Structure 1
């Protein structure tokens, strides 16, 4: 018998909550509170998930009909790395992996809150490299990035550029991507072959990591979490003002370089949580360069969106800035998009034709925010995701053909399970939909 960890045991308790029962929890003062179960049963969620593949708009409406789904976060959602499968919690690997190998991520010193002291450089199957982003005279600014090692450049047909989340742990996300890649290979119908994927994850560190010593003197860093909205570098000295989206452009061009990868056909830019917020905005603001048909975007469980008009599904009366960038198309834009934002009609027309897939975990009813502009989009992540699909319909008189979505069954704000659920595997790794 497998001995469950404390976290796993707590997750099982919360799964019970997710199946429609109420769980009583005692606070330190011994007063009783009832956590409201806002998740639908896994059976109900499976029917919504199936519907979302063919009709994501109808699925979004069904999500918004879930009892209490519009309540604010009460912490009654499932933990970080466990996924329920018929009342059994599986730690680390997803239950549908079909025996795929799971590799653990590297550790490093420091935290995202205080700053990292170093970048892990020994990873099983991945290398830490540096790429020149900008030059001035004999000085260069470099961006660290992780890439899968032992590449056969002739065999590479597809690239996935994955962004980290709030923790800025690119080494973790490229490892999770590799785990999902192995799961995808277990599904013959997806036609995913080993050794045909280029995996990249840029390091998007900030001033805390710079001060803590994780970066070399000529490596770029940003301010706080500004990278997710296209914010600009704060260093190295002489290289301030480079947008994180310019860095993304650099790596997209790197992947599409036919001299390096002569048989590469497609690039997918991927993000979960804060990384998803970055990818969503990048998919809208990225400058056209003739490669739009070769680039797709996967957006998983974002905490907010950049809305395309001033309409919201919640009151805006107490939030005068609700439609300012990065949550709307007004106010001061990041330097990267300032000129693009002047022509809203062209911006929307371009976005409509880009290939974007949104994945939302139906148990992801956390994510309460102290930003009023975020709360006007919905009280929690899953409701914001459903409202976003409805927003696209209202803006474009129907969901654009190149925008697709799925609602994932009984997954919460869980990076790896979201990357490894079937619809994500299909979009990220399979060329069938390109």
Structure 2
């Protein structure tokens, strides 16, 4: 029996996406942010952020997935902002975590940050003489945004990501927060939107799927658990990290159709498989895990996006995505 054309096309698209993840990116985002004076992070901006911007009341920081296609994600949230009629008062930022091959292909200077493979998803350090955690890049963005001289009317920052980018956001929400006090002092609210990640970091060894620690010794190590945290995490205990995490304003966006256990971009490591067979199940399992641990309630919510699979543009431009990005709950 011949397969339907739609299935064949979907398989071809997935194969192309898997291949693209192993290639140098076609587009390098044009903007730079100085980190520690000697290195530069790469990012895209919807408008200039060098001069005072009194019109900006909200900032959305969106993170790409493993394809490192930051400009694609920037265009997606631009469409969502236009549809929500929020574009005029919103600054959109799309950081780009480059790979070694991107630097070589585009002949970028040594000062531009680059990571090995997908290390940036877990907050690991960049390559080079002066390594920098990908989470430090986020800290520097937030610090700049807290400058009341540049953004005197900024009231809210939304940190959002899809797929691999959602892994960044979930882990940063867990062990990040070095700029929280400064943002609070300036009266700036911080929210998180986590869309369709392959996996989550758990606070203990509990998992929805039985796991044999002998055959999967890394199931509870970072980025799946809190063992062997990166240096960025500091000295907070797991209990302290959890207490801070559950207070964060987080929306988990899950595509109703993101249910393929063989998706080429799905994490199939045993540590991820212990969380469920596919992304939709893993998201529900994680939220159930949190609600059981915190029956007093969470400052968080899970939203399923109907008729959407593993598609960042469809997630963020959906009515549910627009609400999560641009309308405080």
The verdict on a shared fold, with TM-score over 0.5 as the criterion, is yes
Structure 1 residues 79 and 382: alpha-carbon distance in aligned structure 2, compared to 1, 3 A threshold: farther
Cα 1:347–1:150 change in 2 (3 A) is closer
The CA distance in 2 between the partners of 1:421 and 1:411, in whole Å, is 9
Whether 1:306 and 2:201 are equivalent positions in the alignment is yes
Asked if the contact 2:47/2:92 (under 8 Å) is kept, the reply is no
More helix by share: 2
Structure 1 gap ranges (5+): 1-8, 15-24, 26-74, 81-109, 121-127, 186-191
Q: Find 2:242's aligned residue among 339, 348, 362.
A: 348
Question: In structure 2, what is the Cα distance between the partners aligned to 1:421 and 1:398?
Answer: 31
Match among 379, 404, 414 for residue 277 of structure 2: 379
SS at match of 1:115: coil
SS in 2 for 1:271: strand
Distance 1:245 1:261, change over 3 A: same
Contact persistence 1:78–1:363 (CA under 8 A): no
CA distance in 1, matches of 2:79, 2:96: 19
Matches within 5 A, 1:197-208: 197-208=90-101
Residue 356 of structure 1 and its aligned partner are, at CA, apart by 0.7
Contiguous gaps of at least 5 residues in structure 2: none
TM-score (structure 2 length as normaliser): 0.87
The correspondence for 1:339, drawn from 231, 235, 239, is: 235
Give TM-score, length-normalised by structure 1: 0.67
Once residues 79 and 408 of structure 1 are traced to their aligned partners in structure 2, the CA distance between those partners, rounded to angstroms, is 22
Structure 1 residues 308 and 76 mapped into 2: Cα distance closer, same or farther (>3 Å)? Answer: farther
1:257 matches 2:155: no
Does residue 403 in structure 1 map to residue 300 in structure 2? yes
* Counterpart for residue 60 of structure 1: none
When the two structures are aligned, how many residues end up with a matched partner?
309
Residue 192 of structure 2: aligned partner: 297
CA–CA distance in structure 1, aligned partners of residues 307 and 251 of structure 2: 19
Classify the secondary structure of the residue corresponding to 1:339: coil
- Judged with a 3 Å threshold, the aligned counterparts in structure 2 of structure 1 residues 346 and 319 are, in CA distance, closer, same or farther, namely same
Distance 1:414 1:214, change over 3 A: farther
Once the two structures are superposed, residues 405-426 of structure 1 have per-residue CA deviations (whole angstroms, 9 ceiling, x without a partner) of 1011111001111011212211
Indicate which of 55, 77, 81 corresponds to 1:177: 77
